Amino acid sequence: MFFTGNTDRSILHLDLDTFFVSVERLRNSRLIGKPVIIGGLSDRSVVSSCSYEARKFGVSSAMPVRMARIMCPDAIIIRGDMEAYSNYSNMVTDIIAEKSPLYEKSSIDEHYVDITGMDRFYGCYKWSHELRQNIIKETGLPISIGLSINKTVSKIATGEAKPNGEIEVGKEKVLPFLDPLSIVKIPMIGQKTYHVLRSMGISTIYTLRNIPAEMLEKLMGKNGIEVWKRANGIDSTPVISYSEQKSIGTEHTFEKDTTDVARLNQILVSMVEKIAYDLRKQEKLASCVTVKIRYSNFDTHTLQKRIPYTSFDHVITDIAKELFAKLYQRRMLIRLIGVRLSHLVRGVQQLDMFDDTPEKVSLYMAMDRIRRRFGKDAVRRAAGVMTSSEREEKEIKRLEYAANEQKMMEERLRGYMMYGFGH
């Protein structure tokens, strides 16, 4: 088995260092040099981010705050401010967008830029260095960069450049750069895969890439091939334009146009619930909500609002209801209602754990487990569920519609027979 990859690309990876902590230090300089933990304030909350000073004590993301307190008693624990983090993230994105030919926002604190061909005019590394310096100057945030032939190698390079550094890995240096590193440095290798490989005596990327790809495929399925390719510095994944990243949404067209605001809000809640679940399932966050309505005369209106990154339906629902209330001013019959989430980035919802409501987080996790097992509609919020009388009314309308369709077909058939088309 033989694989090749495009080695003529120049892909830049940018990663804001301890992003949440860095934002808090901009707002309060007394936090500089001290162990800082970002998360909820209760013992049952989890660590969302922590400074390098806290990491020296063994503190890490997703660790219970109670445990972090024991490991680092002098740590300063701060409730996160997602709105502030979103604003700084967008500030960095705006700087990159102004300078870059093609960029992808892969998470709240990470970007990829495809600068292939720029070396003909300016020099890729010089351009990357100046972009990094510009971000530091404009935002005050520390940021590390890695420049290489593809996303995988540039991301690994950024990890080696931290904190607040920069590394270029040319195509002839890719394998010498990767070989001595731990297999855990490969982005797609999680804890489970890591332990499987370590149990086989595989600890470095050099050892991993010298294992036959077929063997890894038998062991890990299709993922085995992908792991082998990345260990060999092969990754053809394109940089996806931020503006082209997929949104997620749904629409509902009514069988009979309506002005029933209570019912409209009910359907809106139900739609938000479903797309927010899809968002969490894809491990993505959204920062823009759009609501759409179409009147009976086919006039269509939309309204959108930027929000702090989230995937929680109770947050999105409030925004969607707010937008709908602003949109629906004419009190005409509504034919269609829709909701869409956009400006998507990769990330799991540890971000709202700042709220000090572990019960709420646990509830979401439990609801999603039930949905994964029994289907999307297995568990619903009361606000988005039809009453028995509403379900009965809907079923009656469905049966009436089917009966009318049958009657029309019969009349049409009789007409055909009358004019001789049936022979």
pLDDT in tens, 365-412: 666 666 666 665 655 555 544 445 555 655 566 666 666 766 676 666
Q: What is the DSSP letter of 337?
A: E
| pLDDT-based confidence at residue 356 (cuts at 50, 70, 90) | very low
Output the six-digit token pair for 21: 């902590």
Q: How many CA atoms lie within 13 A of 211 on its CB side?
A: 26
Do the first three CATH levels of 11-16+84-231 and 246-384 match, i.e. the same topology? Answer: no
| Residue type at position 154 | S
Alpha helices in 186-249 (DSSP H): 191-199, 205-209, 213-220, 222-231
Torsion of CA 242, 244, 246, 250, to 10 degrees: 120
Output the six-digit token pair for 188: 């797609």
Which percentage of the chain shows pLDDT scores above 70?
79
SS3 374: helix
Fold of 11-16+84-231: Alpha-Beta Plaits (3.30.70)
| Residue type at position 67 | M
Locate the domains of the chain by residue range: 11-16+84-231, 246-384
Q: Looking at the domain covering 246-384, what would its CATH class be? A: alpha beta
Measured on CA atoms in the order 243, 246, 248, 249, is the torsion positive or negative? positive
Angle, CA of 37, 39 and 43, to the nearest 5° = 100
Cα gap 236→402, rounded to integer Å: 51
Asked if pLDDT for residue 44 goes beyond 80, the answer is: no
Mean pLDDT (whole number) for 106-120: 89
Q: Is this structure's pTM higher than 0.95?
A: no
Q: What DSSP assignment string belongs to 135-174?
A: HHHHH---EEEEEESSHHHHHHHHHHH-SS-EEE--GGGH
Say if residue 212 is preceded by a cis peptide, omega within 30 of 0: no
CB within 8 A of 255, min separation 6: which ones? 397, 398, 401
Contact 332, 259 (CB under 8 A): yes
Catalytic residues: 110
